[in-house]
Structure 1
Amino acid sequence: MTTPNILLTRIDNRLIHGQVGVTWVNHLGANLVLVANDKAAQDKVQQSLMDMVLPDVIQARYFSLQKTIDVIHKASPRQKIFLVVKDVHDALTLKEGGVPIDHINVGNMHYEEGKKQISATVSVDEKDIKAFKRLDELGVTLDIRGVPNEKGQNIMELI
């Protein structure tokens, strides 16, 4: 089994949108955006909207969490993967399922009832904090950044 070439994993409740599509892909030099999300994997309309923001040279895949866990180790070393998940719980499921995630960019977790805002773009509740702490225990670096040239902030210092 080869280790997949995952350049970065990003948590963003919007998944792929203009900023991610262009800025992060270019910054990372990725040629494959892998969206690991059970709902998006089933939603062709959402997929085509996400495809539209990506440059033509970039491939996109929309896999369920389980399929990602099952196939990620079959990725070709030529695939420079930018892995995008919707929330910290999906990221933790992948990590505990054996996906080699060692660095997570926490991009966007929107505010909703019962969550506290810890940065301009990130709000968390107790369950989120527990999941971040577990990822931290598993040795994952957790970095809050909207765009690549921002100075990152370790989420563990904010929760």
Structure 2
Amino acid sequence: MSEPNIVLTRIDNRLVHGQVGVVWTSSIGANLLLVANDDTANDPLQQELMEATAESSGVGIRFWTIEKTINNIHRASARQKIFIIVRTPEDARKLIEGGVPIDNLNIGNMHFSEGKRQITKQAYMDDKDISDLKVCAAKGASVYVQEVPEDKKQPLEEVI
């Protein structure tokens, strides 16, 4: 089995929306969006909304559980330029610990919720989020905040 061509992995609570499905996808040259999230993999309504965004960008889209992603990512064709989108740092950590070769982990939108503090303009995290991100970095992923492609990358260690 060959290494899958994962061009970017992004944490975004909103998963696939205009910014991810259009701006990021075209900027990185992806031709397949892979939403790796257990809840979304089992939610046809969420999938339908995200499929419309992918279709408007002319790219394929898949909705897989974390486990299915771990078990199947290495079967990807070399011509697939895969953009993985996860909802949480925990999802990203599980993928990396499961052997998914994630080199670049982009932190996008992480909404405020109880117990989370503002880290950047668009990212709110609690101690578990930070711990999960540190594990990803320790396992070799370049972890950084970058809201849109034009923004400068802010390495994790500069924002936490």
TM-score under structure 1 length normalisation:
0.97
Q: Which residue of 2 aligns with 1:156?
A: 157
Q: C-alpha separation between the residues in 2 aligned to 1:20 and 1:77? A: 22
Amino acid in the other structure paired with 1:13: N
Q: C-alpha separation between the residues in 2 aligned to 1:96 and 1:56? A: 31
Q: Which residue of 2 aligns with 1:40?
A: 40
Q: Which residue of 2 aligns with 1:10?
A: 10
Q: Which residue of 1 aligns with 2:82?
A: 81
Q: C-alpha separation between the residues in 2 aligned to 1:148 and 1:64? A: 27
Instruction: Let me know the Cα RMSD of the aligned residues.
Output: 0.9
Q: Which runs of 4+ in 1 moved over 3 A?
A: none
Any gaps of 5 or more consecutive residues in structure 2? none
Shift in Å, 1:49? 0.2
Percent identity of equivalent pairs: 50
1:1-159 residue pairs with structure 2 within 5 A?
A: 1-54=1-54, 55=56, 57-159=58-160
Q: C-alpha separation between the residues in 1 aligned to 2:144 and 2:19? A: 17
Judge which range, 145-154 or 3-12, deviates more: 145-154
Shift in Å, 1:43? 0.7
Any gaps of 5 or more consecutive residues in structure 1? none
Alignment length (residue pairs):
159
Amino acid in the other structure paired with 1:31: N
